[in-house]
Each structure stands twice: as C-alpha cells, then as structure tokens.
Amino acid sequence: ANFSEQVVESFPSDISTGIYYGWACVGNGDVHKMVLSIGWNPFYKNIKKSVETHVIHTFKEDFYGEILSIVITGYIRPEKNFDSLEALISAIQEDIEEAKRQLDLPEHLKLKEDNFFHLPEGKIANDH
C-alpha cells in the first residue's frame, strides 16, 4: 500500500530512509504486522520519495481508498540498491521475517492493542 504524495510530504523530514516494521490497520479492520519502506527505491530509480507499506496479511480484496493507519515500532536497515530483482525480492523476504520476529517481542506486541487503532466510528486521528 503506497501512501499519497501529500502523506509522504507530511512525514518528519528528519526520518531516515530505510526499512521499518510495525503495525497496520486498514479502515476499522484488524491490526496486522507490517514492513514499511521509506525512501527513493533506487532499484526503480524513483525521483520522488515514497512510503510503501507491506501489510503481512492476505486480504480477500483490494482496499484502495481505505484509510491505512500505521505505527512504526522499529528499524531494520538502511535503503540500498540491488543488482537484480531477485536480490531485491530476497531482501524483502528477509525484512518480512525480521519484522515478524521483532513484532512478536512483548514491547512491540503490546502496541498492536493501542487505542490509536480503535478510534470511534467516523473519527480520524491528527486530521489524517
């Protein structure tokens, strides 16, 4: 799930590019583990910074237009370029496994239940 340019521009300017992990919720659905890429995606030679969320869950249908709420809980590695698509895919799989391991730790697991993800119907946090 890619965030819009407007959301990307609202991220703190001093946040380091790289791969992060945390929790994500689509709409008012369940909270799932996620991996987040913040950066320029050098393999694809992007000219604009992007923020891409990989929710570690298989959804039955797409969720375009839904609100995606995330909580970043940790950092995995800096952004880097890859020699091949296969190397990129391999790194993504390693990032996912690392995120799963980290998010099972008690200090991260407790954030899955944070009130941030359980907003009253129709309310949006921080005007986003």
**What integer pLDDT is reported at residue 127 of this predicted model?**
46
**What integer pLDDT is reported at residue 119 of this predicted model?**
63
**Residue 4 DSSP one-character state:** P
**What integer pLDDT is reported at residue 56 of this predicted model?**
96
- pLDDT per residue as tens, the chain (128 positions): 888 888 888 888 888 999 999 999 998 889 999 999 998 866 666 678 889 999 999 988 888 888 899 999 999 999 988 889 899 999 999 999 999 999 999 999 999 988 888 766 555 555 44
**What integer pLDDT is reported at residue 14 of this predicted model?**
87
Report which of 74, 69, 68, 57 is spatially closest to residue 108, judged by C-alpha positions: 74
**What integer pLDDT is reported at residue 49 of this predicted model?**
84
**What integer pLDDT is reported at residue 5 of this predicted model?**
85
**What integer pLDDT is reported at residue 50 of this predicted model?**
86
Whether residue 29 contacts residue 1, with contact meaning beta carbons closer than 8 Å, is answered with: no
- The kind and range of the H/E element at 39 are strand 31-39
DSSP string, 41-74: -GGGT-SS-EEEEEESS--SS--TTS-EEEEEEE
**What integer pLDDT is reported at residue 122 of this predicted model?**
53
| Domain chopping of the chain, boundaries | 5-117
Domain 5-117: assigned CATH number: 2.40.30.30
Catalytic residue numbers, as ranges = 52
Residues 6+ apart with CB under 8 A from 17: 38, 39, 40, 49, 78, 79
What residues form DSSP beta bridges with 31?
Answer: 25
